[in-house]
Structure 1
Amino acid sequence: MPQNYQHILALAFAIKEINENPQILPNLTLGFHIYDSYMTPRLTHRAALQHISPRNRFLPNYKCNIQDNVQAVLEDIHSDNSPLILDLLSIYKIPQLLYGPALVMTDNTQVPSFFNMVPNETHQYLGILQLLLHFNWRWIGLFTVIGANLEWFMQRMFPVFSQHGICFAFMYSQSNVEGNEYMTDYAKRFSGVYEKMMGSTANVILFKGQACSMIIFRGLINLIQMKYMMPKPKGKVWIVTAHVELKTYDVDWDVQIFHGMITVAIHSSELQGFQQFFKSRKPSSAEGDGFLKDFWSYTFRCAFPNSILSNRDQVKCTGNETLKDFSAFEMSMTGPSYSIYNAIYAVAYALHEMYSLKVRAKMQGERKKFQNQQPWQLHHFLRHVSFNNSAGDHISFDHNRELIAGLDVINWVTFPNQSFVRVKVGKTHPQALSEQALQIDEESMVWQPRFNQVRPLSLCSENCNPGYRMRKREGAPFCCYDCTQCPEGTVSGYQDMPDCSQCSAGHFPNKNKNYCIPKMIRFLSYQEPLGAGFLLLAMTLSLITVLVLGIFIKHHSTPIVKANNRHLTYILLNSLLLCFLCALLFIGKPEKVMCLLRQAAFGIIFSIAVSSVLAKTITVIVAFTATKPGSQMRKWVGERLSVSIVLSCSCIQVVICIIWLVNSPPFPDVDMHSMMEEVVLECNDASPAMFYCVLGYTGLLAIVSFMVAFFARRLPDSFNEAKFITFSMLIFCTVWLSFFPAYLSIKGKYVVAVEIFSILASSAGLLGCIFFPKCYIIVFRSELNKREQLIRRNQ
């Protein structure tokens, strides 16, 4: 991989700067050895043993000269082989600085000699989580080529993703590929998985692997597309972890499917002088660089004489080619190269601090002791190293010996000629999941052509608009749901609300149920048609009552007025007048005095009216009974009986009302809940039981009056009102029996309207049935209002 040559140059560049800097390790020279494990356990173990062997000899555990004093080991090791290195080098307590994929472990105290130059997997996934939340990608897929990583992800990160509303359309894991296994059954199995991934409704796929994973993945895609003639897949947004990246190699494999890929990568910055150091490399001036010729041959498509990579068809390399103007190869600093550079400086500063400490102590033979320094003594100084590199970034380790650093967000742009370029579009702060952890320039990002350069959506379900709530689909992941409108009386003001909420007191939902509107304040007022109508009706009936009373007073000496106790008639007419006027107490804004008076006044006045009707009926019965020879009822004839009936029956109602007003008096109240769009000002009766007692007692008097009048209806018509009282009580009872269901079923100001209507209707029934026939005779048939006529009719 030609990009890997940058890692070697970063190492050489850092060593060169340190050795040329008189402020760091004066009079000492740093050197290095490079080993390639080829990602195989055997060569990995061989390379680890070579670290504890003499130079150019394989004799583990022997040190033959002071020049081979290994102070630290930089590692980029395949995770399957990492235990081989850790176990072996930990025996010698050699500091190990990892610039490759971080190991999966609870904390680094398990390996005291281990220092991590890159954020661990947890931080990487938390950075990816921030990215998903920023773009609102809630429905994603996961693919990894290492089964162990998927298991770790399920245990450690899956709950975190789920808590933040991310769910997975699929989670596939493929074992690593060895040799040509992918040519047979592996390719067939992979084709099924790949087809499902590409056909999924999830537009975002999280890819987890190592440096070689992308190479294998691209090779498998190329193979199955040729072997199984699979159609070109629709575009997806690939999000890959820090160590997975596109690399250039001499194979014509399509990279267009990864256009717009996003990497949460190791942070890197451009180092001062590194680009000049890189571009100035030439085979003729790079003595000791055994990698340059291979890199040169690949970059310029030429061959050096006697090179094992030479091809007869290739042109010969002259060595005069220059990298200065060569744009086909990406030369910007990568994360692994930057980590290598920082690791070298961390070791150098730690050695310098350890050496300075010995100098200050003025120990005898400090130079010799320093050259024979044991690696384990360097750990303390590495843990506390802190410096700013040439790019201005601060380098230090946390308590777990992990580098305190954020991550870069890289957007990959590919081209039809299979080249590509990485564009840094953002970064994540080391404090994962904080409010400002992610900074991203979304305008600079590119997406797959399928998305028409618009931010892709990746949701299992459409967003539920305000006014709707999410309803989970049975048997589907939690982020798959249907949208249902909020129930009556509730709202949802944002997208994707799990439930709807009630409006605050004094507000109600608008038509679309996406925000709350202040309720209108309502009460039965004189300004509205209903209140004005009741006022007009009450005043009209009051005037009619006054007119009837005037007629009876004017003709008080006539037989029809004198019959049936004219004093009771006056009491009844006055009580009916007060009943009509009492209805006005129910109209208008409820006030304290109004609320105290209206139900009590209504109950007492109606009791007087009904008691008067009852007294009139009983008086007729007593009068006719007393005319029989030897009757004992004569002593009851007179006004004492009628007055006693009215007073006794009315006093009981007065006592009930006094008890009500003393114990739990009515008061002005605000009804927030009865009406959806209105706040109703009302009088709270405080004690519904007492209210029904008042109505019940009045109803009892009416029923008794009706029964008495019904039995007296056959008495001579000329001398009693029994028939008229019977009809009036029938109307009275019918009105108030109808009042109860209406009163209990309606809400708001119409409750008051029903009571006003019942008061006016029942009072008008009494007035009309009892007094209309008499007024007709008095006014229009005065010839009948004579004693002779009454006696003749009675005979």
Structure 2
Amino acid sequence: MYRNHSLPDNPLAQLHKVITVRRTSSGEASMRRFLQVLLFLCSLGEENTAPACRLQSWDMESFSQPGDVLIGGVFVIHSGFQLQRPTFQEMPQPASCKDFQIRYYRDVLGLMFAIDEINASADLLPNITLGFRLFDSCNEQEGETSGPLGTITQGPHRQQQVHIEHMPNAAATSWIPPHTHKPSLPDPAPGWTPDRRGTLLPLLQWTSARYHKEPISHGSTLSALSNKMNFPSFLRTVPSNMFQNVALTRLIGLLGWTYVGMLVVDNDVGEQGGQIIQAGIEKSGSCVAFLEKIHLSYSMAQIQRVVNVIKRSSVNVIVLHSPEIHVKVLLDSLYDEGLTHKIFICSASFALRLGILSRKAWKVLNGTIGLIPNTGAMPGFEQFLSSLHPSRSNKYPLIRTLWEKAFSCRWSRGETQENQTNLTGLLALCTGEEDLRGLIPWLFEMNDLSYTYHAYLAVYAYAQALHSLLMCQAPTDNSPYRMCANVRDTQPWQVLNYVKKTHFSTNTGDPISFNADGDIPGVYYIVNVQTVNGSFNLVKVGKFDPEARNGNTVLLDIRSIMWNEGFTQVPPSMCSSSCHPGSWKATRRGQPICCYDCIPCSLGEITNTTDAAECFRCPTEQWSNEEQSMCIPKVIEFLSYQEPLGIFLTITVILFFLITLCILFIFIKYQRTPIIKATNRELSFILLVSLTLCFLCCLIFIGSPSPITCPLRQTLFIVVFSISISSVLAKTIMVILAFKATKVDSPLRKWLGAKIPRTVVALCTMIQVGICIVWLLLSPPFPQLNPEIERHKLIFECHEGQSLFFYVTLGFMGFLAMVSFFAAFLARNLPGSYNEAKLITFSMLVFCSVWVSFIPAHLSTKGKYTVSVQIFAILASSAGLLACIFVPKCYIILLRPDRNSRHQLTSRKVNRWLA
């Protein structure tokens, strides 16, 4: 299917992509990688040139076991390396490995355990022996590429060495090595598993595709490798980090964290994963406070800069997307700075391994939440580990180094397998009688077999596919397509086709298959680092399954999580607290989107959700409550009888009404006395009755407006008040006529009598009635709810309709009052009998003062206070008329009856007092 893969016309065109995959802080390391890639391209370019070019590669540590079919593998066994300073006068020396890690070595043992099981099986690949060739990358990129490239290109090998050389028939290399090869020279690996970091895996995969060697990765999670256009032959038994990135994003959202920091490894895997995780976090509404890169090659100054960034930040949660080896020094520095209260949430690339990190680092990581790929059981693996012994396991590499690390002893000089052991001469000698069985559970961390299990699966996936091909079986049960091959002429593209379609069950019954992208299902366990009695434990607290049937992809038991010191509940991690209903988020300029201020909504606006982006205005008839979280109906306000102001005005109206009735009763009772006769008794009765009605008109202004009361309010008041003013005007006219017609032959005497005052009252009243009729016909007053006066209230009021008519009627009353005032003022000094002109002058002065003040007060007040102002004006002006015109008369009638005589009224003394 993918039988031939050709290189670009100019292989050097790919050089820039290769050497810029990972930035380093060391110029020497960059030069070494440049030379190494140049050697590799030289070997590729020599395919069409003379065989004179032969460049020797660096020596590299590898381990092999012969077999009919070889499985190649790249592992991190040592967690560190040491570079030799180049002299540029001789071949650069390879990096020396250091810091042997038992946890990493467990992955190698998992692969060898699978090979031993298959070789011992009578059902899977019978009569075929699997061998291996393994490389220790020492956590260094040269180690990750130089050995596998030599294996892939099928160069001649020496034991423990690899040479990248010209091979004329390299393009046609078979997956299955010919039997003519010498056992002492390990054959090229037909399939190989890159180490779980996979930083330069795209380069190796591109090369393996050209030479028809197809990788099955047990730890490379880079999501770009799922692109079959670029990597058509890549397969893996560990989930793509695409699922991991989704899991991290959803886990952060589930725990309510909106403001987090990020630490990513400084290579392409970290950069791509960091970008995807950051995009997912920001898409969910959260944001990233900082994104810092970290690498084991960083200097202490670079590490301290990252520590300072974390120290200055207010985030409590940090996403860690990096292999653990790159953050060892950083975690120790955080502990030294006292930063032990941060919560880390780790991707699957960060292996929570007890034997790798220091106790200071684990104190920083206490409460950490991490992801580990879903792993199945490996029956017999613990017994396999128990059987390991330096004297019985010579076929397995580094067993003696394992023994030294496990028991803190050393073999005598020349007996150890490793030149660089980092062990001092102070350690006791190893005897071989030490018992490994009791140390296995914690030494090999058997509670989490991630990556070891996936290396185990990779071997089985290849073996199952090869078995189906050699047994002439179809790739799947329902596939009619099948091929046959033998171990001597099997082609890579044949095995690849079977591997892609393989579907098998492990020894425990777990189904294993690859999807169209060459991936397995992305299921992860969620674990929590917990400190119990000074020891650190990993506790499973949840699971992420993107294919969960109920759609609940994240299952998390929050109560089982033990948080870092200082936190008894889920620790908050937010730049700003959530904005409660009644406020909206205002993003701070120049800061991430989750850093904002909560601004209260304006009056009449609400938000009914948390972290609302804007406030919404309530409908016209509604208003916001005190919390501004919901719209409620506005309070309808009018001058009612139940409120204090309404009660006060009602009592005042009733009081003046009763006083007027009393005065009217007095006038009726004493109507035949001289003082009442002298003041035009008929006009006095009309004036008293109209004043009584004026007081009663005020009650119509109090209470809820209605279609009946609104038209009656102003028209009834205007008509009744017009009667009062016209009565006063008639009185004034009659006073003037009475004093001007004292002579018997005066022509004015014929105007004396009841005709003139009746006419004046009737005429003035009819004019006002006419104006009111036109007003009611054209634009009558009506009740309305006015939302404009007060935003939080609905003012229930009587709209005056056409306000012009209201001011016209007021103007006409003012005109009558002014005429009465000037006429009474001119008649104030008339001689003769009882003169009422001065009393009328003063009453009109009060009346005009009240209503002149009423105009601006009426225009400046709103709502119920407009009504109260008008009631006050009616009461004040009516009371002024009542007090100025009638109280003096009542005084004489009731308290000084001796002056209520014709003789007394004509005397200057009484007249002076009255006037």
Give the TM-score taking structure 1 as reference length: 0.79
Q: Distance in 1 between matches of 2:375 and 2:125?
A: 25
CA shift, 1:715, in A, is 0.5
CA shift, 1:262, in A, is 2.5
- Letter in structure 2 aligned against 1:714: L
CA shift, 1:744, in A, is 6.2
Establish whether residue 424 from structure 1 lines up as the match of residue 525 from structure 2: no
Partner of 2:561: 445
- Letter in structure 2 aligned against 1:8: V
Q: Distance in 1 between matches of 2:788 and 2:500?
A: 66
Q: Identity of paired residues, percent? A: 32
2:303 counterpart (190, 193, 197): 190
- Which of structures 1 and 2 has the bigger CA Rg? 2
Structure 2 residue ranges without an equivalent (≥5): 1-100, 180-186
CA shift, 1:331, in A, is 1.5
- Letter in structure 2 aligned against 1:307: T
Alignment root-mean-square deviation, CA:
4.9
1:264 counterpart (370, 389, 392): 370
1:297 counterpart (368, 380, 404): 404
Partner of 1:544: 659
Q: Distance in 2 between matches of 1:389 and 1:592?
A: 89
Q: How does 1:51-90 map to 2 (within 5 A)?
A: 51=152, 53=154, 60-61=170-171, 62-63=173-174, 65=177, 72-76=191-195, 78-90=197-209
Contact 2:474 2:482 in 1 (8 A): no
Q: Distance in 2 between matches of 1:391 and 1:757?
A: 98
Contact 2:115 2:459 in 1 (8 A): yes
Name the SS of the counterpart of 2:193 in structure 1. strand
Distance 1:736 1:253, change over 3 A: same
2:827 counterpart (692, 702, 715): 715
Q: Distance in 1 between matches of 2:590 and 2:475?
A: 68
Partner of 2:766: 647
CA shift, 1:370, in A, is 9.1
Name the SS of the counterpart of 2:538 in structure 1. strand
Q: Distance in 2 between matches of 1:600 and 1:384?
A: 98
1:699 counterpart (802, 807, 810): 810
Query: How many equivalent pairs are there?
Result: 769
Name the SS of the counterpart of 2:826 in structure 1. coil
Establish whether residue 367 from structure 1 lines up as the match of residue 481 from structure 2: no
Distance 1:597 1:702, change over 3 A: closer
CA shift, 1:647, in A, is 0.9
**611-620 or 771-780, which moves further after superposition?**
611-620
Partner of 1:143: 263
Q: How does 1:250-399 map to 2 (within 5 A)?
A: 254-260=360-366, 262-271=368-377, 273=379, 276-283=382-389, 286=393, 288-303=395-410, 306-309=415-418, 313-318=427-432, 321-324=435-438, 326-329=440-443, 330-344=445-459, 346-347=461-462, 356-357=473-474, 366-368=483-485, 372=489, 374-376=491-493
Cα offsets for 1:485-544 (capped at 9, x unmatched):
77667778888777777789767645x888999987765544454433333322222222
Establish whether residue 665 from structure 1 lines up as the match of residue 782 from structure 2: yes
Name the SS of the counterpart of 2:260 in structure 1. strand
Partner of 2:234: 114
Q: Which has the higher helix share?
A: 1
1:128 counterpart (225, 248, 251): 248
Structure 1 residue ranges without an equivalent (≥5): none
Contact 2:265 2:293 in 1 (8 A): yes
Name the SS of the counterpart of 1:332 in structure 2. coil
Partner of 2:222: 103
Distance 1:250 1:722, change over 3 A: closer
Distance 1:279 1:76, change over 3 A: closer
Distance 1:101 1:134, change over 3 A: same
2:349 counterpart (214, 223, 243): 243
Q: How does 1:36-47 map to 2 (within 5 A)?
A: 36-38=136-138, 39-41=140-142, 44-47=145-148
**41-50 or 68-77, which moves further after superposition?**
68-77
Q: How does 1:455-494 map to 2 (within 5 A)?
A: 455-460=570-575, 476-480=591-595
**135-144 or 484-493, which moves further after superposition?**
484-493
Establish whether residue 34 from structure 1 lines up as the match of residue 97 from structure 2: no
Name the SS of the counterpart of 1:356 in structure 2. coil
Q: Distance in 2 between matches of 1:147 and 1:35?
A: 21
Establish whether residue 579 from structure 1 lines up as the match of residue 725 from structure 2: no
Partner of 2:106: 6
Establish whether residue 656 from structure 1 lines up as the match of residue 768 from structure 2: no
Establish whether residue 535 from structure 1 lines up as the match of residue 650 from structure 2: yes
Cα offsets for 1:301-346 (capped at 9, x unmatched):
3456722348764332426623255454221233322333444555
Contact 2:239 2:519 in 1 (8 A): yes
Q: Distance in 2 between matches of 1:463 and 1:781?
A: 82
Partner of 1:683: 796
Establish whether residue 50 from structure 1 lines up as the match of residue 151 from structure 2: yes
Contact 1:461 1:479 in 2 (8 A): yes
Q: Distance in 2 between matches of 1:85 and 1:469?
A: 53
Contact 2:726 2:760 in 1 (8 A): no
Contact 1:297 1:303 in 2 (8 A): yes
Q: Which has the higher contact order (CA 8 A, sep 6+)?
A: 1
Q: Distance in 2 between matches of 1:156 and 1:250?
A: 28
Cα offsets for 1:576-627 (capped at 9, x unmatched):
2223222223444555544554444444444444444455545656777788
CA shift, 1:644, in A, is 1.2
Distance 1:640 1:54, change over 3 A: same
Cα offsets for 1:631-657 (capped at 9, x unmatched):
899599453233112111232123213
Partner of 2:881: 766
